[in-house]
Structure 1
Amino acid sequence: MSQSEREQIIRTEYSDVMKKSYIDYAMSVIISRALPDVRDGLKPVQRRTLYDMYELGIRYDRPYRKCARIVGDTMGKYHPHGDSSIYDALVVMAQEFKKGMVLVDGHGNFGSIEGDGAAAMRYTEARLAKISQEAFLSDLDKDIVNFVPNFDETEKEPEVLPVRFPNLLVNGAEGIAVGMATSIPTHNLGEVIDAVKAYMKNNAITTKQLMKYIKGPDFPTGGIVVNQDDLLGIYETGTGKIKIRGKVETEEGKGGRKRLVISEIPYTMIGSGIGKFLNDVCALVETKKTSDIVDISNQSSKEGIRIVIDVKKDADVENLKNMLYKKTKLEDTFGVNMLAVADGRPETMGLRRIIEHHVDFQFEIATRKYQTLLRKEQEKREVQEGLIKACDVIDLIIEILRGSRSVKDAKACLMYGITDSIHFKTKVSEKMAKLLSFTERQATAILEMRLYKLIGLEMEALVKEHEETVEKIARYEKILNDYDEMSSVIIEDLNRLKKEYAVKRKTSLENAEEIVLKEKKIEEQEVVFLMDRFGYAKTVDASVYERNKEAADAENRYVIRCMNTGKICLFTGQGRMHQIKVMDLPHGRFRDKGQPVDNVSNFDSTKEDIVFLVQEDLLGEEKLLFVTKDGMIKLVDGKEFIVSKRTTAATKLQDEDELRTVCPVQGADYVVLQTVNGYFLRFPAGEVSEKKKGAIGVRGIRLQKKDEVEAAFVFSEGEDIRAVYKEKEVVLNRLRIGKRDTQGVKQRT
């Protein structure tokens, strides 16, 4: 074969290759990793982990085994995607605060509801939960699901587990694929089983009728669903938003004081959300949104959630409760998107569609189960009938066996009546032997039969066993041929699971009114904003500032008089403007440290530097001069920066350019630009063009090589303005007046 014949160059569009490759990758993530299967409600990693535990014999009634062993075996046999993904899936299946029904019985530190992570897998142990073994993994030996090759075709794994109830609803699901995501809430096992039974009795049942059984989500953390009327639309379409509130109770404290006790939290708050809630409540006090809270403590334990908020004696408890719902995550939204893999492709399904898929799957696995059982019983009957028949002619069979030279000859005689190679005592025996017609399975059983089977009691037991086998065959055939009979078998199994595993509903459902929060009207007053050179900011009363004016001006980089209801606008060298609500800053004593502006705005001190601060109220009356490092300048109307966004683009910059300064120019006659190399250019302020904030601007000064603008000054006619360059004082109003976009005058040092 020539070189040209061995090599093939396929010419194609690069975009087509990228498109096909990305689609293949996306489908791989969707089907093989991120989304659960509607039949068993499990993602591949969960299914493989449970099956591996079953294969290793780590059953609910056997000792725990190290999680590291389970993870390693699963990764080596079935799931080659890294140990962390397998262990994370194992941990979640063992966390009762995340799953409606725990599938793994964990032993050791498997994390907490407050966001503490599980211990390393070398320390923790696990075994299958009883329900996993009975409702997820039973009957796998009866050919009820397909087995497919693993990733390297050295093992077989189940395509889906034969789960007996709609696990997709009971345990819910969360997963992010490529271009799609799933988010299914948990439900109550007893209610889901009742809905399945109702569907099986009437497959024309509507979603509204199903909701007589499945009232709504049942989260493991409890809480209150407050938009019950929206649930019908969510369950019909498979998408929507569920509003959840934590459960807050009022208790009597010491000295007639009351306390609010949070005993249940929204499902979305588990993990770091609890810590954030505590911080948010503290922030309400620090920012003076409320003065009714005296103390907050997290007294949660293994027994459950208990967050206690002590309030003042004369506090409006109801209004404070409303404030917690409105201002914190104590009321939150759970986004529902009931997306799962159905028939090999992702599909968004409503409640009825999920149950329909589940029931179809139950009939499929039940059919396969009873076909397997029927086949085994039929084989058993065949053997039993052969043995009974053989016992009636046992003397002839013994004669055949004694007269045979080999097992092959004896078997041929039993099956086909071939007597050529067998020695008989009488012609009558030979004639009878030619009439024998046992099946191969019967002949094998006769040849393997032990002599004690000829005892009278053993014969009676054989006949009785045959009668039982015939009854079983009749029952299995009836189940397979009668829809109602199979339905009753499935329902009987569901009733058993409900009786043993169903628990009371934890989440209550209601239609609550929208929270109306009566916020105290903030008394408007003048304060002074102080920010030091380290970026720590605070506000103090104007009187406090006046008493410490000299120290305040010396110690702080920015000092701005403003109203406590206003905002401070912060312009950065990277061309952005961040807004800080004055009310968000700590207000207090002059010697208080303050708070980093990073914490109360989107400003990032590690990546940005401040070039100008101004009170928002003044922007509407000002024109702002923007000057960049490369000498670009422009005027912008301050009204353009009165926006609601916390962060907005302040100006457009060319590549590698930076904003050097922003100056108010209202009433100014002249502009002076100073460069690093000592060039000063003075020109009339009227030569600067006014532009939009999204424009680059015009050139203000011609720069020499390796020079850049260092500072800019604006002043009026007759105003005495001075600057210092390399320890030499420069009187700016004595500089020669030039034109914009010229080189300027170099100062001698």
Structure 2
Amino acid sequence: MSELTLSNDGIERVALKDYTEKAYLDYSMYVILDRALPNIGDGLKPVQRRIIYAMSELGLRNSAKPKKSARTVGDVIGKFHPHGDSAAYEAMVLMAQDFSYRYPTVEGQGNWGSPDDPKSFAAMRYTEAKLAKYANVLLSELGQGTADWIDNFDGTMTEPLVLPARLPNILLNGGTGIAVGMATDIPPHNIREIVAASIACLERSSTSLEEILEHVKGPDYPTDAEIITPKSELHKLYKTGRGSVRMRAVWQEEQGEIVITALPHQTSGAKVLEQIAAQMQAKKLPMVSDLKDESDHVNPTRFVIVPRSNRVDVDQLMNHLFATTDLEKTYRVNFNMIGNDGRPGVKSLDQIIKEWLHFRVETVRKRLNFRLEKVLARLHILDGLMVAFLNIDEVIAIIREEDKPKPVLMERFGISDIQAEAILELKLRHLAKLEEVKIRGEQDELNEERKKLELLLSSERRLKTLVKNELQEAADEFGDDRRSPIIERAEAQALSEMDLVSVENTTVVLSQMGWIRAARGHEVDPSSLNYKSGDRFKLAAKGRTNESVYLLDSTGRSYVFPAHGLPSARGQGEPVTGKVNPPSGASFEGLLLGKGSERLLLASDAGYGFVTQIDNLSSRNKAGKAIISLPKGSQVLPPIVLPEGEQLWVAAISNEGRMLVFPLSELPVLGKGKGNKIMNISAVRAAAREELMLTAAVFREDQRVVISSGKRHVSFKFSELEHYFGERGRRGHKLPRGFQNVDSVEIVDS
């Protein structure tokens, strides 16, 4: 504790550290308890409670005519809530919006905002408001001794600490708020479900959370959108008081078009349309041809998405939109509130319902006691009046003759001060004989009511039965069907960039100086394209725009990037080094397009190679990955895509005109490495570049092997290759005369 000191001039002095600490703690507690968090009793934050109370004091009940909102706001901030008028009005607007509140407490006339823009409401000088019928749930018992009253901010009047709610409004309308060091996010629920759970807890106090969740299926927002949170997550949320709820728009297919009919809670339709249109403009939704807003007063939400063709997978398209737009939203849930003990805390669903029921039972008990006191007081007065009627002449004589008749009446008839006062205030017209009959009738009615009240107050079971019946009556009056269906759905996945690319044939061309581009179709002749001065064609590969480009450099490293992002072949392309970062001095020796699990043969001219999948060439960074280990002095050969078929053969040819044919199955399947010997090439001569494996080809038995040397060509059927068969790693046999220098090997169908 800090020590306070008084200076000679009488000024209190305190350390700055202690002062600021106390001031901040005081402010924090004020924000938590008197601004941001709702009370479990009536489910309202102070500003909401004051708005409702001020409107009731102005006579703005549901049956009355509405008054200007400025009148209400003026009373609220002038009498109870000394804050800004805009803050009070915004809170009032929120309570009137049926798209924000599950059960609105204010009924407004004029412009009170729209789902697209909740803050587009008119100024308070233009709008009018009165309390909604649902507000009776909070106010109907206010004047019956049920509320504790506190002074307002300036002590000139009183206001209720908590309204005597007949329903657990804390769960029905929920609420959000940010305090200091804590926040609250309570979702709305359905009246019928919450009342059913409350009645179950009243009938058996040991009702478990699992039994409560048989009645409460989940939150119920003021929208027809689906709640897609799994039941297990909802159970965990209600058990811990913290979690999240996911909502997804409702859609159906009509004549090949996608029609969206309901949006998640507090989702702007205009923003959703803007998000979808932005993707269309960025060419990220090539499968969508048009987007229309057909919303009107009959169909408040009706957005139409027109697919480009009937081949579009609409389920996949909607999953992408759910993942990338506000058609699906997640809402944080935090059951943080001020409990009956006046302290903030996060509570589970069963704790909330049972604690509110305690509040409700005590409220009803206060109401009954208040009424009983009124009945007993009236009976006491009636007893005194009966004494007067039975002795009317003597009473009149005492009043006429005595200067102070009250004490004389009290002494003569043994009545109390209150009874004597009532006798003295009797009007002459009430001295008629019929009045005695009326008094006896009223006594009988009040005695009957007294017995019922005393019976209810003497039995906890009867008191709970009364609370249960009143809960059911309120549920019958204000309850409705669930609006937000709970349907478990698979998690939405956004389409990848490759999935969104329009699929077309393409030819990727790489020049000698490393410039890359893509031509539409497979008919283009790469050598006829226009190249920069001093540059020329080097490599080309055919494929589809939704495939990846794989490069293999002279050091044995592989690189990958998407094909659809390449510039058009009408220009001269762009440097490939903008997409990959090869080692200094390396050149590109292999180019191919593909995706998935296609198989390749990777080899070096030292006669080594192995089989791998194209996915193994993928790399996450521009520096690529080492895929082939090259023996000293050797170079990498272009990768060979393996044809379809199980029984495949390899034809390997050396620079000395030898060819070796053997089954592909003799080569290992590796992720990366050097591989095994394809041909027996001398390591010494290979390092000196004297003996090399020029090329290799892979074929099926129903295909032909065409070998070219200059202008000469020779074609072999599979049955004609028997002379070249051998075990893997052999030198092979000599090709016919004139084919000592092989230029290329081509595989064609027979």
Q: 1:439 to 1:527 in 2, by over 3 A?
A: farther
Distance 1:457 1:586 in 2: 106
Residues 307-456 of structure 1 mapped to structure 2, 5 A cutoff? 307-311=303-307, 312-342=309-339, 343-404=341-402, 406=403, 408=404, 410-417=405-412, 436-456=413-433
| SS at 2:25 equivalent | helix
CA drift of 1:616 comes to 6.4
Counterpart for residue 656 of structure 1: none
Q: Identify the match of residue 514 of structure 1 among 491, 494, 497.
A: 491
Question: Which residue in 2 is equivalent to 1:617?
Answer: 579
How high is the TM-score relative to the length of structure 2? 0.66
Moved over 6 A (4+): 523-528, 539-543, 546-550, 563-566, 581-591, 613-616, 639-643
Task: Show CA shifts across 1:451-487 (max 9, x none).
Answer: 3334332211110100111111111112222112222
Question: Which residue identity does 1:29 align to in structure 2?
Answer: V
Partner of 1:5: 8
Distance 1:154 1:333, change over 3 A: same
Q: Secondary structure at the match of 1:411?
A: helix
Contact 1:78 1:157 in 2 (8 A): yes
| Partners of 1:369 and 1:590 in 2: CA distance | 87
Contact 2:106 2:132 in 1 (8 A): yes
Specify whether residues 393 and 505 from structure 1 end up closer, same or farther in structure 2 by C-alpha distance, changes over 3 A only: same
For residues 132 and 583 of structure 2, what CA distance do their matches in structure 1 show? Answer: 70
Aligned to 2:491, what secondary structure does the other structure show? Answer: coil
Q: Hey, what does 1:282 align to over in structure 2?
A: 277
CA displacement at 1:347 relative to structure 2? 0.5
Over residues 417-466 of structure 1, what are the superposed CA-to-partner deviations in whole Å (9 max), with x where a residue is unaligned? Answer: 3xxxxxxxxxxxxxxxxxx2011111111122233334332211110100
Question: What is the CA distance between 1:366 and its match in structure 2?
Answer: 1.1
Aligned pairs for 1:180-199 (under 5 A) are 180-199=182-201
Distance in 2, matches of 1:588 and 1:80, equals 67
Alpha carbons 1:228, 1:510 under 8 Å: kept: no
Structure-2 separation of matches of 1:325 and 1:265: 11
Number of residue-to-residue matches in the alignment: 539
Change (3 A) 1:4 1:176: closer
Relative distance call for 1:19 and 1:104 in structure 2 (3 A) is: same
Task: Supply the RMSD in Å over aligned alpha carbons.
Answer: 3.6
Q: Which of residues 260, 264, 269 is equivalent to 2:262?
A: 264
How far is 1:110 from its partner?
0.4
Q: In the alignment, does 2:459 pair up with 1:482?
A: yes
Aligned partner letter, 2:321: L
Q: Is residue 250–residue 259 contact of structure 1 (8 Å, CA) maintained in 2?
A: yes
**Structure 1 pair 391–219 and aligned structure 2 pair: CA distance change class (3 A):** same
- Taking the aligned partners of 1:456 and 1:180, their CA distance within structure 2 comes to 69
Q: How does 1:244-255 map to 2 (within 5 A)?
A: 244-252=247-255
Q: Percent identity among equivalent residues?
A: 35
Residues in 2 aligned to 1:461 and 1:299: alpha-carbon distance in whole angstroms: 68
Q: CA deviation at 1:20?
A: 2.7
1:164 pairs with one of 144, 153, 166: 166
Give the CA deviation at 1:527. Answer: 10
Structure 1 residue 369: deviation in Å?
A: 1.2
Following the alignment from structure 1 to structure 2, what is the Cα–Cα distance between the partners of residues 589 and 464? 105
Distance 1:456 1:242, change over 3 A: same
**Structure 1 regions of 5+ residues with no counterpart?**
253-257, 418-435, 529-538, 551-562, 567-580, 592-612, 624-638, 644-749
Which range moved further: 90-99 or 382-391?
382-391
Partners of 1:526 and 1:564 within 8 A in 2? no
- Pairs within 5 Å for 1:284-303: 284-303=279-298
Q: Which amino acid aligns with 1:464?
A: G
Deviation for aligned residue 1:217:
0.7
Task: Encode CA deviations 1:534-572: one digit per residue, 9 max, x unaligned.
Answer: xxxxx99789xx99999xxxxxxxxxxxx9999xxxxxx
CA distance in 1, matches of 2:440, 2:448: 13
Q: Is the 8 Å Cα contact of residues 247 and 329 (structure 2) preserved in structure 1?
A: yes
**Aligned equivalents of 2:167, 2:66: Cα separation in 1:** 26
Q: Secondary structure at the match of 2:139?
A: coil
Deviation at 1:54, TM superposition (A): 0.7
Q: 1:287, 1:584 within 8 Å by CA — same for their partners in 2?
A: no
Contact map agreement 2:41 2:162 (CA 8 A) in 1: yes
Look up the SS of the partner of 1:374 in the other structure. Answer: helix
1-structure distance, mates of 2:14, 2:311: 81
| More off after superposition, 368-377 vs 389-398 | 389-398
Which TM-score applies when normalising by structure 1? 0.66
> How far apart are residue 11 of structure 1 and its match?
4.9
Structure 1 residue 398: Cα displacement: 2.3
CA distance in 1, matches of 2:374, 2:33: 35
* 1:287 and 1:585 in contact (8 A); partners too: no
Greater Rg over alpha carbons, structure:
2
Change (3 A) 1:124 1:102: same
Summarize the Cα distance change of 1:63–1:402 in structure 2 as closer, same or farther, 3 Å threshold: same
Closer, same or farther in 2 for the Cα pair 1:502/1:588, shift >3 Å?
Answer: farther
| Cα deviation digits, residues 173-196 of structure 1 (max 9, x gap) | 111122221111111111111111
Letter in 1 for 2:366: R
Q: Deviations over 1:694-720 (max 9, x none)?
A: xxxxxxxxxxxxxxxxxxxxxxxxxxx
Q: How far, CA to CA, are the matches of 1:614 and 1:119 in structure 2?
A: 58
Shift of 1:223: 1.4
Relative distance call for 1:508 and 1:463 in structure 2 (3 A) is: same
Q: Partners in 2 of 1:276 and 1:588 — Cα distance? A: 35
Structure 2 distance, partners of 1:107, 1:38, is 30
Q: Structure 1 residues 502, 565: closer, same or farther in 2, change over 3 A?
A: same
2:473 match: 496
**3-state SS, counterpart of residue 509 of structure 1:** coil
Does the CA-based 8 Å contact 2:546-2:564 persist in structure 1?
Answer: no
Equivalent pair of 1:49/1:90 in contact (CA under 8 Å): yes
| Structure 2 residue matching 1:119: 3-state secondary structure | coil
Deviation string for 1:286-335 (max 9, x for gaps)?
34443221211222334432111122333222222222223322222111
Kept in 2, the 8 Å contact 1:287–1:583? The answer is no
Deviations 1:19-59 (A, max 9, x none): 33222222221111111111111111111111111111112
What is the distance in 2 between the residues matched to 1:400 and 1:356?
Answer: 59
Match runs of 1:593-604 below 5 Å = none
1:583 Cα shift?
Answer: 11
Change (3 A) 1:92 1:451: same
After superposition, the C-alpha distances for 1:558-599 in whole angstroms (9 at most, x for unaligned) are: xxxxx9999xxxxxxxxxxxxxx99999999999xxxxxxxx
Within 5 Å, give how 1:140-155 maps onto structure 2: 140-155=142-157
| Structure 2 CA distance for partners of 1:83 and 1:313, relative to 1, 3 Å | same
Instruction: Determine whether 1:220 maps to 2:222.
Output: yes
1:473 aligns with 2:450: yes
User: Quick check: 1:527–1:564 contact (8 Å CA) kept in 2?
Assistant: no
Partner of 2:355, secondary structure, is helix
Structure 2 counterpart of 1:412, one-letter code: P
SS at match of 2:40: coil
Identify the residue that residue 723 of structure 1 maps to in structure 2. Answer: none
Confirm or deny: 8 A CA contact 1:104 1:127 kept in the other structure: yes
Distance 1:585 1:617, change over 3 A: closer
**Residue 122 (structure 2) aligns with:** 119
Change (3 A) 1:11 1:119: closer
3-state secondary structure, aligned to 1:99: coil
Q: Residues 17 and 540 (structure 1 numbering): CA distance in 2 closer, same or farther, change over 3 Å?
A: farther
Counterpart of 2:90 in structure 1 is 88
Cα 1:511/1:104, change in 2 over 3 Å: same
